């Protein structure tokens, strides 16, 4: 996290933020850094397909991210969810069979984040379950990103660092994932 908080020496675009499409211009609410540093890519719930998913489904690809990395050689990649997310609660609602599931996003959520939370946690309320899903969904997308060789190599060689963030929509505070503590903490 240190490299990210440190003021950049120049206004180089060194950070890619993959944010939920509902979140709007996420960097506007960040308390540090020059907005010009950030390039924001918006996807439903910041969902990113794994390498294997892209191999098995021609509708999915990470080409857009790869192209942006070719252009900017980002030093930081942030996957950014938010507590007020409406997409994840929407995916939890029952649907009629055969209903539209653009790019299989809901099915991928059910097989990934939802299964993980239901197998590993016993939330005491629906709102606690929803929050767990929002936090874990960010980590699942980072895992998916790391299955792509070009990103895995950049991270392994230290060229790019990855971060998981969840924005509290009401306070604009950010929870960042700390791997050493296996927890999200306010930053
Ligand atoms: Zn959202």
pLDDT digits (tens, 9 = 90+) for 53-86: 999 988 899 999 999 999 999 999 999 999 999 9
**Is residue 7 pLDDT above 70, yes or no?**
no
Backbone torsions φ then ψ of 5, nearest 5 degrees: -80, -30
Let me know if 184 is exposed, middle or buried by CB neighbors in 10 A (0-12, 13-18, 19+): buried
Please check whether residue 4 is in contact with residue 25, taking contact to mean a CB–CB distance below 8 angstroms.
Answer: no
Residue 14 pLDDT exceeds 50: yes
Q: Is the pLDDT assigned to residue 171 strictly greater than 90?
A: no
Considering only the C-alpha atoms of the chain, give the largest distance between any 2 of them, rounded to a whole number of Å: 53
Of residues 169 and 163, the one with the higher pLDDT is: 163
Q: What is the pLDDT of residue 31?
A: 47
Q: What angle do CA 78, 162, 157 make, to 5 degrees?
A: 145
Which residues are found with C-beta within 5 Å of the ion, ligand 1?
20, 22, 85, 87
Q: How far is the CA of 184 from the centre of ligand 1 (A)?
A: 18
What does the domain layout of the chain look like in residue ranges?
2-95+102-186
DSSP state letter for 171: T
- Work out the number of other CB atoms within 10 angstroms of the CB of residue 126: 10
CA of 10 to the centre of ligand 1 (A): 31
Task: State what percent of residues in the chain have pLDDT above 90.
Answer: 65
Other Cβ atoms closer than 10 A to 180? 5
Task: Tell whether the model's pLDDT for residue 6 goes beyond 80.
Answer: no
CA of 61 to the centre of ligand 1 (A): 21
Give the DSSP H or E segment for 38: strand 38-43
Mean pLDDT score across all residues of the chain = 88
> Pairing relation of β-strands 161-167 and 183-186?
unpaired
pLDDT at 100 over 60: yes
The residue with greater pLDDT, 100 or 132, is 132
Write the CATH number of the domain with boundaries 2-95+102-186.
3.40.1050.10
For residue 87, the CA-to-ligand 1 centroid distance in Å is 5
pLDDT tens sequence across 121-152: 999 999 999 999 999 999 999 999 999 999 99
Output 101 or 114, whichever has higher pLDDT.
114
pLDDT of residue 104: 83
The SS3 call for residue 105 is helix
């Amino acid at each position: 996290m240190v490299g990210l908080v440190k003021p950049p020496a120049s206004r180089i675009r060194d950070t890619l933020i993959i944010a939920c499409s509902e979140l709007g211009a996420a960097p506007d609410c960040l308390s540090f850094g020059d907005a010009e540093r950030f390039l924001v890519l918006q996807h439903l719930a910041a969902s990113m397909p794994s390498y294997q998913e892209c191999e098995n489904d021609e509708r999915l690809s990470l080409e857009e991210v790869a192209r942006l990395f070719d252009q900017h050689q980002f030093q930081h990649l942030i996957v950014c969810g938010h507590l007020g997310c409406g997409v994840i609660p929407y995916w939890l609602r029952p649907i009629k069979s055969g209903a539209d599931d653009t790019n299989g996003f809901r099915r991928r959520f059910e097989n990934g984040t939802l299964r993980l939370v239901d197998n590993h946690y016993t939330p005491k309320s629906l709102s606690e379950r929803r929050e767990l899903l929002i936090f874990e969904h960010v980590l699942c997308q980072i895992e998916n990103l790391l299955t792509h060789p070009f990103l895995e190599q950049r991270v392994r060689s230290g060229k790019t660092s990855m971060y998981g963030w969840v924005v509290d929509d009401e306070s604009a505070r950010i929870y960042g994932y700390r791997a050493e503590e296996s927890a999200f903490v306010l930053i």
